[in-house]
Structure 1
Amino acid sequence: MAPPGRGRAIRGAAVAAALVTAYGLGAVSSGPGRPSRIETAAHEPPSLLDEASRRISASAAEPVGTDRLRNAAIAGMLKELGDPWARYYPAQDYTDFTGWLNAERRSVKPDPETGDVTVRHEKQVTVVRVAVFTRGVGAQVRAAVRGSRAVILDLRGNPGGLLDEAVETASAFLAAGPVVTYEKRGLAPEVIQVTSPGDVRVPVVVLVDGGTASAAEIVAGCLRDRDRAVIVGSRTFGKGTVQEPVRLSDGSAVELTVGRYRTPGGRNLEGVGIEPDVAVRSADAEQRARDVLDVE
């Protein structure tokens, strides 16, 4: 997951969510008009690692390619960090994933009949389900809840996505002030503020469960800390660390934990998650939300 401004032909909503999970349950951001933190490593002369991979490839009793050896070496370096979220992504995998998140391509996409945001406008309540925070989701949520009498924001099973979109989603219910604080070693904490004023009067219930993670936890944690929502469901996943990707010269990428985020109340969610205000099993969560809102 990167802070704001840094940012297989498989189909089906479940697969899309699984792919986000595979990429660290993270929130990756590359907001427009801000410098990207995804950068390509400078070209360097052949290294000891290159020499070792060539010689092993040429001398091993069983055939083995140098690319396979280099990938294994990179994976070994990341394992040495002891970072549970560190990952290595081949070039095409990383390109497909970032393109999908930024709506630049849809080689991997959710069910076209549902999409990343689904909305039910009912007489007394608007139910908005966000499956994952891809580009444009925040604006869709803001438009969906405009003029609503009450809102149920369903983040169950949402594994994260773009942090910029999570911030925009939370901003839809806030006038101003902090949404999340990003902390990186050696730097002063960066407080990320509401993007533009939202509806501060509409009652809101947020539905969560054990699959609610990262950027989705930012939204839920922010709205509760800012006294803008009641949280209904079960304890969330608990991911409060920040990952940043670095592109390598062949287009592949390594992603490393570089910091953490905190809710407006100063809470670090890593390994802890968010305990709901109203604990209830998932099957009963929406009805309980209606009870809390006192709507049918």
Structure 2
Amino acid sequence: MTAVAFAYGGGVVTGILGSENPPPPRRQPETGLLDEAAQRIAAEAARPVDRQQLERAAVEGMLRALGDKWSAFYQPSEFDGYASALEGHYSGVGLWLRRSPQGRIRVASVQPGSPAAGVRIAAGDELVSVAGQPVAGRTVEDVVSALRGPVGSKVQIVFARHGRRYTATLTRTLMSTDDVTVQRLRGVGGAPVTKIRIASFTRGVGQQVRQALAEHPEQHRGGVVLDLRDNPGGLLDEAVDVTSAFLNGGPVVSYQSRADGSRTLYARPGGDRTTRIVVLVNGGTASAAEIVAAALQDHHRALVIGSRTFGKGSVQEPSRLSDGSAIQLTVGWYRTPKGRYIDGVGVEPDIPVDTTDPKVAEQRALEVLRGLLASLGGDTKGRG
């Protein structure tokens, strides 16, 4: 990431060549201010900067002027890597990152079987540096880009937990995100329960969730645990598709943008309305994952269990620029079906549970499912 800084000491700037009456600027009418500044730097600066670096610094400066931590600039290769990850494959180490409310970059989740899973790094750890460069002040996208690279190449990371730092060297590999994991559980009292864990909302996640519900329906007579803990989000349309799997139409999320006006995204009809559902969330549940949890909560389709979610309720849309690079802009803020804003607030669970021990929250989910079934005399019929 290009950093632009101006520094001086003692409150007095010295060493600037000039006079009391400097000549007027030599503005060329056919050029804009940015072009004029770039031309002046190229022609007169003692240490000129490459034009591409200047352009990136200018774009990043404009994005900083927005005061929006989620807006970002991607070089062509960075955006290609970002897009590939959302499609479900990338070359990297298996870390999903998020920015904490304090501005630190933390691990949102660690992909099982990845190079990162082979070291002691875990969700919630703070990332300190990547490839010898501190991450402080950098965007999440920039740090993610530094973690990715050619298959077989190595990258050193430094991370912190409870004030203690650790160093690990990881070998990048071709990763398939495998973001849906299905596990068959025995619920409290013996009723079979299906746990569907979604690590992030990449391409095809909705279809995989539907498939998990359609296969062996007898395996979730006791209900479904939809595990969205430490899910950093992803593709909005996949979040809507997952929500559709449990609804028979109705609004999922809405937002208003300057370009498109007000938009509401609806669930497709025909979803499973009979199976009892609980949704597990925690402070790492963000963005698209919060949309799913809030929509199912608003429609009284599921009980949400865990701790308050992260609270990222803004809509980002990337746009390609002429050279293949891209800018990502916040274009609006999400509202739940009942009109709630979640940005900076998060989703409050129906049943608060301490999420420091993952097994405790999971056991509570099974107990809640048993209670839901008992209230219906063992019938799994849902609300209309």
2:90 to 82, 103, 106: 106
Cα-Cα RMSD: 2.0
Q: How does 1:65-84 map to 2 (within 5 A)?
A: 65-84=50-69
Find the counterpart in structure 1 of residue 278 from structure 2.
205
Q: CA deviation at 1:53?
A: 1.9
TM-score, structure 1 normalization? 0.79
SS of 2:331's equivalent in the other structure is strand
Whether contact under 8 Å (1:96, 1:108) holds in the other structure is: no
Q: Tell me the equivalent position of 1:281.
A: 354
> Which one is further off, 229-238 or 242-251?
242-251
- The question of 1:261 aligning with 2:334 is answered yes
The aligned runs of 1:37-116 (5 Å cut-off) are: 47-103=32-88, 105-108=89-92, 110=94, 111=111, 113=113, 115-116=178-179
User: Which structure is higher in RCO with an 8 Å CA cutoff and minimum separation 6?
Assistant: 1
Preserved CA contact (<8 Å) 1:100 1:109? no
- Identity value in percent: 54
Structure 1, gaps ≥5 residues long: 1-44
Q: Structure 2: which 5+ residue stretches go unaligned?
A: 1-29, 95-110, 114-176, 187-191, 372-384
* Matched residue SS, 1:245: strand
Partner of 1:244: 317
Change (3 A) 1:290 1:241: same
Q: Which stretch has the larger CA shift, 78-87 or 158-167?
A: 78-87
Counterparts of 1:112-123 in structure 2 under 5 Å? 113=113, 115-123=178-186
Q: Does the alignment pair 1:125 with 2:193? A: yes
1:130–1:155 contact (8 Å) kept in structure 2: yes
Counterpart AA for 1:285: A
Q: For residue 71 of structure 1, what is the amino acid of its counterpart?
A: R
DSSP-derived class of the 2:249 partner: coil
Asked whether the equivalents of residues 242 and 261 of structure 1 are also in contact (C-alpha less than 8 Å), the reply is yes
Higher strand proportion: 2
Q: 1:109 to 1:164 in 2, by over 3 A?
A: farther
Instruction: For residue 224 of structure 1, give the secondary structure of its aligned residue in structure 2.
Output: helix
* Cα distance in 2 between the residues matched to 1:112 and 1:218: 24
Report how far residue 122 of structure 1 moved.
2.8
> In structure 2, how many angstroms separate the alpha carbons of the residues matched to 1:222 and 1:181?
11
Question: Could you say which residue in structure 1 is the equivalent of 2:147?
Answer: none
Q: CA deviation at 1:189?
A: 2.5
Residues 199 and 272 of structure 1, relative CA distance in 2, 3 Å threshold = same
| 1:176-224 Cα deviation digits (max 9, x unpaired) | 2111112223755222111241110101010101111110000000000
Distance in structure 1 (CA, Å) of the matches to 2:31 and 2:224:
58
> In the aligned structure 1, how far is the partner of 2:259 from the partner of 2:234?
26
1:126–1:152 CA contact under 8 A, matched in 2: yes
Task: Report the CA distance between 1:64 and its aligned residue.
Answer: 2.1
Shift of 1:288: 0.7
Q: Measured at CA, do residues 71 and 211 of structure 1 come closer, stay the same or move farther in structure 2, by a change above 3 Å? A: same
Q: Aligned residue pairs: how many?
A: 250
Q: Distance in 2 between matches of 1:122 and 1:83?
A: 42
